[in-house]
């Protein structure tokens, strides 16, 4: 009875691993830009093969089965490490990814084919897999300060890696001092199989949840980011502005509008591809010239806006002038004979009870004045009685 239950429970592990492998491979089929899905899918596939082979064809002294399962387990660990690191854009150390697994495989083969020893193989495989996986903890530590799903993934991965160390002793306990080919199916052994199944499932689900969140975040980024300039879109600007308006007591919120001068001339004479290149370069100039908390967006065409939280009128004017000068001095290689572009700026500060639309409308009126005053200049609300800083 216990043997039948043990066999059934033992087969649950490869079934779970196979199901998760198919999930990851299916996800990779639809998200080819995420190679970690293929690596993790292959990891679970090798794990399913190793566990299934170990259950259905138990290793025998000198039989070679333990060598094959050892290779599958080690390969699975390496693929899991590579997949986890690939997701965050990192790579494992070559020693950990190649030299260590080869050395461990050699030792497993020795204690299977030359000097059979179940105890030695258990120590080598469990400790070896733990060492391979733990090599990824340091680079993965950045997940601890990320999204909730990333934090959960990090701790599940850490627990999964660490459990191989006590598992070494726990797996040997029921074997007493005997070096049998297969550990007896005791209730203790069944508990080990159950915990492994739960950890395999928990890690797989955490990875799938993290990947789903990655896809959602990428779609949100694509929706909220202008493709040419990599600045915010108007929709994203409105969403972020809703968190800043009204500002906190004692704080000022300013905005500057920027419109490129003679942009139609650029499109008509140099082509739209050159115009797109100019917009891309302008986006970089603006992004590099503002603070991290400032919000820069492309409203459409050649018009840009920068929302400046906790920024009084005079500081916004100074920023606008710096951006104007930087643009004027930036060489545009796609415009031979013209060299660079200029822009006109309008600056306005939020008034009590005003919303973003009203603020942008006032800034647009000021920008229109800058266009009428000869372009390539910064204009402000003169009626506010503020001194000219430009």
The 3-class secondary structure across the chain, one letter per residue, is: CHHHHHHHHHHHHHHHHHHHHHHHHHHHHHCCCCHHHHHHHHHHHHHHHHHHHHHHCCCCCCCCHHHHHHHHHHHHHHHHHHHHHHHCCCCCCHHHHHHHHHHHHHHHHHHHHHCCCHHHHHHHHHHHHHHHHHCCHHHHHHHHHCCHHHHHHHHHHHHHHHCHHHHHHHHHHHHCCCCCCCCCCCHHHHHHHHHHHHHHHHHHHHHHHHHHHHHHHHHHHHHHECCCCCCECHHHHHHHHHHHCCCCCCCCCEEEEEEECCHHHHHHHHCHHHHHHHHHHHHHHHHHHCCCCCEEEEEECCEEEEEECCCCHHHHHHHHHHHHHHHHHCCCCCCCCCCCCCEEEEEEECCCCCCHHHHHHHHHHHHHHHHHCCCCCEECCHHHCCCCCC
Distance separating alpha carbons of residues 172 and 34, to the nearest angstrom = 39
Distance separating alpha carbons of residues 225 and 23, to the nearest angstrom = 30
> What predicted TM-score, i.e. pTM, was given to this entire model?
0.76
Nearest alpha-carbon partner for 140 in 151, 130, 148, 131:
151
* Confidence class for position 64, pLDDT limits 50, 70, 90: confident
Give mean pLDDT, residues 92-108: 91
189 pLDDT higher than 70: no
180 pLDDT higher than 70: no
103 pLDDT higher than 50: yes
66 pLDDT higher than 50: yes
Q: Is 296 exposed, middle or buried (0-12, 13-18, 19+ CB in 10 A)?
A: buried
* Confidence class for position 388, pLDDT limits 50, 70, 90: very low
Percent of the chain with pLDDT over 90: 62
pLDDT of residue 7: 59
pLDDT of residue 173: 55
pLDDT tens digit sequence for 228-259: 999 999 999 999 999 999 998 889 999 999 99
Q: Minimum mean pLDDT among 124-128, 168-172, 183-187, 191-195: which range?
A: 183-187
Higher pLDDT, 321 or 384: 321
Higher pLDDT, 43 or 122: 43
* Confidence class for position 342, pLDDT limits 50, 70, 90: very high
Distance separating alpha carbons of residues 378 and 390, to the nearest angstrom = 7
Tokens coding 46: 């090798």
pLDDT of residue 290: 94
* Confidence class for position 2, pLDDT limits 50, 70, 90: very low
Give mean pLDDT, residues 3-25: 78
pLDDT of residue 61: 56
Give mean pLDDT, residues 277-305: 94
286 pLDDT higher than 90: yes
pLDDT tens digit sequence for 355-383: 999 999 999 999 999 999 889 999 987 64
Which sign does the torsion angle of CA 257, 260, 261, 263 carry? negative
CB 66 within 8 A of CB 181: no
Higher pLDDT, 311 or 166: 311
pLDDT tens digit sequence for 126-157: 999 999 999 999 999 999 998 999 999 999 99
C-alpha distance from residue 222 to each of 38, 70, 228, 280, 300 (Å):
24, 44, 11, 16, 16
Give mean pLDDT, residues 2-14: 63
Report for 56-60, 167-171, 195-199, 321-325: range of highest mean pLDDT? 321-325
What average pLDDT is seen over the chain? 86
């Amino acid at each position: 009875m216990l043997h039948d239950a043990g066999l059934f429970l033992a087969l649950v592990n490869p079934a779970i691993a196979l199901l998760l492998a198919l999930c990851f491979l299916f996800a990779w089929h639809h998200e080819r830009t995420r190679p970690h899905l293929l690596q993790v899918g292959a990891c679970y596939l090798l794990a399913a093969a190793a566990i299934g082979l170990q259950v259905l064809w138990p290793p025998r002294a000198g039989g070679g089965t333990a060598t094959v399962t050892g290779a599958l387990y080690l390969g699975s660990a390496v693929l899991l490490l590579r997949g986890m690191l690939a997701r965050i854009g990192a790579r494992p150390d070559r020693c950990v990814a190649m030299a260590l697994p080869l050395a461990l495989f050699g030792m497993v083969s020795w204690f299977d084919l030359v000097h059979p020893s179940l105890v030695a193989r258990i120590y080598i495989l469990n400790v070896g897999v733990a060492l391979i996986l733990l090599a990824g903890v340091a680079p993965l530590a950045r997940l601890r300060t990320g999204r909730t799903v990333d934090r959960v993934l990090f701790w599940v991965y850490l627990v999964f890696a660490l459990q191989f160390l006590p598992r070494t002793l726990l797996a040997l306990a029921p074997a007493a001092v005997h070096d049998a080919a297969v550990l007896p199916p005791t209730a203790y052994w069944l508990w080990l199989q159950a915990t492994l199944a739960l950890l395999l499932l928990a890690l797989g689900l955490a990875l799938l949840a993290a990947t789903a969140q990655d896809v959602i975040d990428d779609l949100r980024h694509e929706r909220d980011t202008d493709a040419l300039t990599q600045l915010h879109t108007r929709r994203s600007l409105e969403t972020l502005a809703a968190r800043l308006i009204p500002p906190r007591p004692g704080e000022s919120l300013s905005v500057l509008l920027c419109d490129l001068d003679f942009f139609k001339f650029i499109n008509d004479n140099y082509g739209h591809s050159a115009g797109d290149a100019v917009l891309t370069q302008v986006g970089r100039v603006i992004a590099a010239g503002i603070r991290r908390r400032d919000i820069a967006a492309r409203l459409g065409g050649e018009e840009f806006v920068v929302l400046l939280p906790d920024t009084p009128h005079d500081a916004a004017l100074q920023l606008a002038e710096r951006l104007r000068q930087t643009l004027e001095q930036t060489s545009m290689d796609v415009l031979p004979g013209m060299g660079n572009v200029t822009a006109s700026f309008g600056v306005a500060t939020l008034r009590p009870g005003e919303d973003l639309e009203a603020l942008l409308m006032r800034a647009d009126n000021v920008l229109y004045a800058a266009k009428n005053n000869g372009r390539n200049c910064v204009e402000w609300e003169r009626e506010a009685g503020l001194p000219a800083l430009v």
